[in-house]
Structure 1
Amino acid sequence: MKSGTAETAKIAPKKMSPPQTSADLKAQVMAMHNSFSKRMKQIASYVLDRPEELAFETLAVFSERSGVQPSAIVRFAKALGYSGASQMQKVIRDGLLASNMTLGYGERVRQFNKKVGQASSTGGADILAEYVDADSLSLQNLKETTSADDVSAAVARIIAADTLYIVGFRRAFPVAAYLAYSFQKMGKPTIFIEGVGGFSQSQTRTIRPVDIMLAVSYQPSAEETLACAEIAHQNGAPIISITDSIVNPIARMSVQAFQVRESEVRAFRSLTASLCLGQTLVVGYAFASAEADGL
């Protein structure tokens, strides 16, 4: 008969090997995301969407800013196979240092937030200047992180689709409304799922695999947007999403997801980058469709 120690050794789970690169770390977090607790998902959002805030601060400073206890960050790191949080931070930091583009944006945002935090004046001109500066950072980041190939691929998908369904609620509603108005003006058969009377899901049920959905959603996802995206996904229709997080449930259902990082000033978030991306898709569609028609 085998000893208890031998039996324990036999059934003990194999320790996970920690990811050695930032790309591998993000892939592992994405793979495990559905199994994370609410607190773990909060930490995951920083690793995936705002890594610079975790990589270059002490646990104490990061904890104060994020509201996440240092012990939770350590548990998160260990769940990924690391011996502690500092080892995970180093992997994230090395990845950022290898990508000066991402690092530069994160550093500029930190400097801007520090400047705003020290500002004593809250007059109209000062607030305007803060938003102009913050939106400029957001637009520059959009330019650096969105490739021409990504835009061309999205435009090609929209052109190929019979009908374009557009959805976005709450903070995303103005962006969705602009997209619907603009694509309709460009002659694209478009259905704007505005949800009047609570009929958002009913408006979506006619979507087919030959159609396409353009969904705008920010964390936490509006229930209405998520429900419509799920219907489109179940019906076999492709989804293009504009979102602030790659772990947004809608992004995970999408054939193509654009991640935008909107500016935030005094707890109010802008929509400038999302609207700029929307304008890019609309104008790109106008030129591409005209070229296809031989105009």
Structure 2
Amino acid sequence: MERTYESLKQEIAERHDQLPKRLLQIAEFTMEQPDFVALETVANIADKAKVQPSSLIRFAKLFGFDGFSDMQQVFRSRLIDRVVSYGERIRAAESDDVGNAASNGVLAQLISADSASLDRLGRDVPAADLERVADMLAGARIIGVTAQRRSFPVAAYLSYALSHLGQRAVLLDSIGGMSGEQARLLSGDDALIAISFTPYAAETLSVVGQAKAQGAKIIAITDKGLSPLVSLADIRFEVEEAQIKGIRSLTATTCLAVALVLALGHRLEAAALKRQPASRSKR
């Protein structure tokens, strides 16, 4: 059977903890930069990943390929259904010129990078997953939301917006070291939205692990690397944010959060409309 990118990604994630340090470095790079891996030479990939070309070959053979070029074909197949512009290829390669503000300025560069990130989000998020999340949240007794550090503003927004839809939304902020006590609120009747990007906040992972053990459904918003949330999530959304000079945006993540709220709002409204004829017929 032909290897697919998704099956390879799953295999790498499953063997993540068993990889030696150098191969783990390659695994994380290939998952974080799949377009670069698909389009560049072995020499350029090795240079960008800060490893020897021989290590790339050893990594490929570990996963059953004859050589790294064979593994590359899997990454290239991922691009068949996508139209990748020349400009996006440059952004995917994280060109050093991206920080040059001489021509367009920092704001213009950020807008351009965010636009590309939003385009990727539109391609990568299946409408069916938004519908599944809407169903999950509509039926939840409690909707927990958790995030730390850079992701915290998105969690705060979700908690605020979901409560305005009439849902019982609880922000699990781990303040005062209370993550364990807060997570005890969640059970099999509940759902938890967890947001975390590399280097993955320990507090968030702790809350997710406990909530999962207690039977709660997990909705993860994370990055395209080997996120530890992947194995815990019932539904996951992978977001590739724009990055300028090492500073990451939150535009795509916030857009996805708003989409989740809107999807739930539509679901609740549709359910309310279905109930109205039944209530009128009883009069």
- The amino acid across from 1:160 in the alignment is G
Partner of residue 82, structure 1: 65
State the shift of 1:20 in Å.
4.3
Partner of residue 31, structure 1: 14
State the shift of 1:67 in Å.
2.2
d(CA) in 2 for partners of 1:115 and 1:250? Answer: 25
- The amino acid across from 1:64 in the alignment is D
Q: Which has the larger radius of gyration?
A: 1
Structure 2: any 5+ residue segments left out of the alignment?
A: 277-283
1:108 is matched with which residue: 69, 87, 90? 87
1:291 is matched with which residue: 270, 277, 283? 270
- Contact 1:19 1:80 (8 Å CA) reproduced: no
d(CA) in 1 for partners of 2:16 and 2:98? Answer: 38
Higher mean C-alpha displacement, 23-32 vs 50-59: 23-32
Corresponding position: 1:249 with 2:231: no
1:187 is matched with which residue: 166, 172, 185? 166
> Which residues of 2 match residues 186-225 of structure 1 at below 5 A?
186-225=165-204
Higher mean C-alpha displacement, 54-63 vs 39-48: 39-48
State the shift of 1:202 in Å.
1.4
Partner of residue 98, structure 1: 80
Partner of residue 3, structure 1: none
- The amino acid across from 1:176 in the alignment is A
Higher mean C-alpha displacement, 269-278 vs 42-51: 42-51
d(CA) in 2 for partners of 1:49 and 1:115? Answer: 11
Q: Percentage identity across aligned positions?
A: 32
Alpha-carbon displacement from aligned partner over 1:222-257 (angstroms, at most 9, x marks no partner)? 100000000001101110010113631112111100
d(CA) in 2 for partners of 1:175 and 1:98? Answer: 33
- Contact 1:246 1:252 (8 Å CA) reproduced: no
State the shift of 1:68 in Å.
2.9
- Contact 1:45 1:247 (8 Å CA) reproduced: yes
2:44 is matched with which residue: 61, 67, 81? 61
What's the TM-score once normalised by structure 2's chain length?
0.87
* 3-state secondary structure, aligned to 2:198: coil
* RMSD between superposed Cα atoms in Å: 2.5
Question: Would the alpha carbon gap of residues 120 and 234 (structure 1) be closer, same or farther in structure 2, given more than 3 Å must change?
Answer: closer
- The amino acid across from 1:45 in the alignment is E
Alpha-carbon displacement from aligned partner over 1:74-114 (angstroms, at most 9, x marks no partner)? 22112112232222223322x1342224xx16x53332477
Partner of residue 175, structure 1: 154
* 3-state secondary structure, aligned to 1:252: coil
- The amino acid across from 2:59 in the alignment is F
Higher mean C-alpha displacement, 45-54 vs 164-173: 45-54
Partner of residue 207, structure 2: 228
Partner of residue 126, structure 2: 147
Partner of residue 280, structure 2: none
- Contact 2:99 2:244 (8 Å CA) reproduced: no
Higher mean C-alpha displacement, 32-41 vs 218-227: 32-41
Question: Would the alpha carbon gap of residues 122 and 113 (structure 1) be closer, same or farther in structure 2, given more than 3 Å must change?
Answer: farther
Higher mean C-alpha displacement, 48-57 vs 270-279: 48-57
- The amino acid across from 1:274 in the alignment is T
Structure 1: any 5+ residue segments left out of the alignment?
A: 1-17
Question: Would the alpha carbon gap of residues 74 and 214 (structure 1) be closer, same or farther in structure 2, given more than 3 Å must change?
Answer: same
d(CA) in 1 for partners of 2:233 and 2:269? Answer: 27
Q: Which 4+ residue blocks in structure 1 deviate beyond 6 angstroms?
A: 113-116
- Contact 1:45 1:245 (8 Å CA) reproduced: no
d(CA) in 2 for partners of 1:232 and 1:177? Answer: 19
2:116 is matched with which residue: 137, 140, 160? 137
- The amino acid across from 1:293 in the alignment is A
d(CA) in 1 for partners of 2:219 and 2:208? Answer: 10
d(CA) in 1 for partners of 2:93 and 2:183? Answer: 44
